[in-house]
Amino acid sequence: MLLKSASFALIVVALTACAFAQNDSAIVVLGQGAAPTQVLVVDPPNDGGEKLDVSWTPTAQPGFDILKYEVLAAEAAEGPFKVLAEGDHKMTSSVITSGNGLRLEHDHPYYVKVVAIDSTSLAVPDSTNPDSVVVRFEKRLRRSESAVAGPFVPRAAWFNMNRLNILLLVLAFYFAVMFMVRRAKAGANIQFRRIAGIDAIDEAIGRATELGKPVMYVPGTQNIENIQTIASIQLLTSVAAKAANYDIPIIVPLNRAFMVTVAEEAVKQGFLNAGRPDAYMRDNIRYLSDEQFAFTSGTTGIMMREKTAAHFFLGAFYAESLILSETGFVAGAIQIAGTANTHQLPFFVVACDYTLIGEEYFATSALVTRDVEMMGTLKATDYMKAFIIACLLASLVLEMLGVQFLRSWFQVI
Partner 1 sequence: MKREIPILITLVFGVFMIVQFFIPHPAVNDIANRLQNWAIIVISFSYVLGSANILRINGELVYRRAPGWPYKLVLVIAFFTMATPGLILGIAEGSWTNDRLFTFTYVPLASTMYASLAFYIASAAFRAFRVRTWQASVLAITALIVMLGRIPVSHFIWQDLPGIVDWIMGVPNAVAQRGILIGAALGAIATGLKVILGIERSYLGRE
User: Considering only residues 357, 398, 406, 410, which one is a binding residue for partner 1 as defined by CB under 8 A?
Assistant: 357
**Listed ranges 4-12, 205-213, 260-268, 405-413: which one lies at the site for partner 1 (CB under 8 A):** 260-268
**Listed ranges 1-9, 128-136, 205-213, 369-377: which one lies at the site for partner 1 (CB under 8 A):** 369-377
Residue 223: CB minimum distance to partner 1, A: 7
User: Which residues 142-201 are close enough to bind partner 1 by CB under 8 A?
Assistant: 156-160, 163, 166-167, 170, 173-174, 177, 181
Residues 6+ apart with CB under 8 A from 101: 82
Q: Residue 139 interacts with partner 1 (CB under 8 A)?
A: no
CA distance 250 to 168: 43
Q: Which CB sits closer to partner 1, 69 or 271?
A: 271
Are 224 and 233 in contact by the 8 Å Cβ rule? The answer is yes
Q: How many residues bind partner 1 (CB under 8 A)?
A: 83
Q: Residue 381 interacts with partner 1 (CB under 8 A)?
A: yes
Residue 185: CB minimum distance to partner 1, A: 11
User: Which residues 285-344 are close enough to bind partner 1 by CB under 8 A?
Assistant: 285-288, 290-294, 296-298, 301, 305, 319, 322-323, 326, 340, 342
Residues 6+ apart with CB under 8 A from 57: 36, 37, 38, 92
Q: Residue 279 interacts with partner 1 (CB under 8 A)?
A: no
**Listed ranges 4-12, 84-92, 209-217, 281-289: which one lies at the site for partner 1 (CB under 8 A):** 281-289
Q: Residue 272 interacts with partner 1 (CB under 8 A)?
A: yes
Q: Which CB sits closer to partner 1, 41 or 180?
A: 180
Task: Using CB atoms within 10 Å of the CB of residue 226, give its burial: 0 to 12 exposed, 13 to 18 middle, 19+ buried.
Answer: middle
Residue 374: CB minimum distance to partner 1, A: 6
Q: Beta strands of 126-203 (E only): which ranges?
A: 135-145, 149-152
Q: Residue 47 interacts with partner 1 (CB under 8 A)?
A: yes
Phi then psi dihedrals of residue 237, to 5 deg: -60, -45
Q: Cα(first)–Cα(last) distance of the chain, in Å?
A: 72
Helix (H, G, I), strand (E, B) or coil at 250: strand
Phi then psi dihedrals of residue 390, to 5 deg: -60, -40
Q: How much helix, strand and coil, in percent to the nearest 5, is found in the chain? A: 45, 25, 35
Alpha helices in 212-291 (DSSP H): 227-246, 259-273
User: Which residues 72-111 are close enough to bind partner 1 by CB under 8 A?
Assistant: 105-106
Q: Which CB sits closer to partner 1, 56 or 295?
A: 295
**Listed ranges 65-73, 119-127, 130-138, 379-387: which one lies at the site for partner 1 (CB under 8 A):** 379-387
Q: Beta strands of 126-209 (E only): which ranges?
A: 135-145, 149-152
Residue 283: CB minimum distance to partner 1, A: 5
Question: Amino acid identity of 188?
Answer: A
Q: Which CB sits closer to partner 1, 87 or 301?
A: 301
CA distance 272 to 320: 32
Are 276 and 247 in contact by the 8 Å Cβ rule? The answer is yes
Residue 37: CB minimum distance to partner 1, A: 32
User: Which residues 3-42 are close enough to bind partner 1 by CB under 8 A?
Assistant: none
Are 77 and 150 in contact by the 8 Å Cβ rule? The answer is yes
User: Which residues 393-412 are close enough to bind partner 1 by CB under 8 A?
Assistant: none
Q: Beta strands of 186-234 (E only): which ranges?
A: 215-218
Residue 155: CB minimum distance to partner 1, A: 10
Q: Which CB sits closer to partner 1, 29 or 260?
A: 260
Residue 158: CB minimum distance to partner 1, A: 5
